[in-house]
Amino acid sequence: MAYRNTPEDENVAYAAYLRGEQLLQPGLLLLLARRPMHGYELIQSLNRLSFHPEECDPATVYRNLRRMEDDDLVRSEWQAGESGPARRVYHLTAEGDRLLNMMAANAQRRRKQLEAFLTLFADTRLDNGGVPSNKPPLREEETKTQ
């Protein structure tokens, strides 16, 4: 499945790969952009990065890796271990890198939206001693500064 960098494709890809998993798939792509890793190492790295409120479920991670491989976002190969059994090592593909870039761009846009929301929320609470106010809607000139 190829992802083109158009607004419609960005929204579809972003929604499909963030639905329900929040930062799991973007986190996997990001880690694999740094270097190839085997599954257990990916799970440990995700847990250290605190992308999730709780530890990652290994079955969920492997299920996502298989789905991402089917979608040509990652590829894997068996690599003989020095002191143990062979392990599957995952690599980021060009399609995976494109999707990671789209996700990062969407996250940047979302971050700006959240910052504007939180700034307005804090201003609203501070202006009224922490209690919700009955302020009138924002004037057009106020929205341009947000």
Which of residues 3 and 56 earns the better pLDDT score? Answer: 56
pLDDT one-digit tens code per residue, 52-102: 667 888 999 999 999 999 999 999 999 987 888 899 999 999 999 999 999
State which fold the 7-114 domain adopts.
Arc Repressor Mutant, subunit A (1.10.10)
With beta carbons less than 8 A apart as the criterion, state whether 100 and 94 touch: no
d(CA 126, CA 118): 12
Burial code (b: 16+ CB inside 10 Å, e: under 16) for 86-121 equals ebebbebbebbebbbebbeebeeeeeeeeeeeeeee
d(CA 61, CA 37): 13
What pTM did the predictor assign? 0.70
pLDDT one-digit tens code per residue, 9-66: 556 555 544 444 478 899 999 999 999 999 999 999 999 987 766 788 899 999 999 9
Please tell me whether residue 118 adopts helix, strand or coil conformation: helix
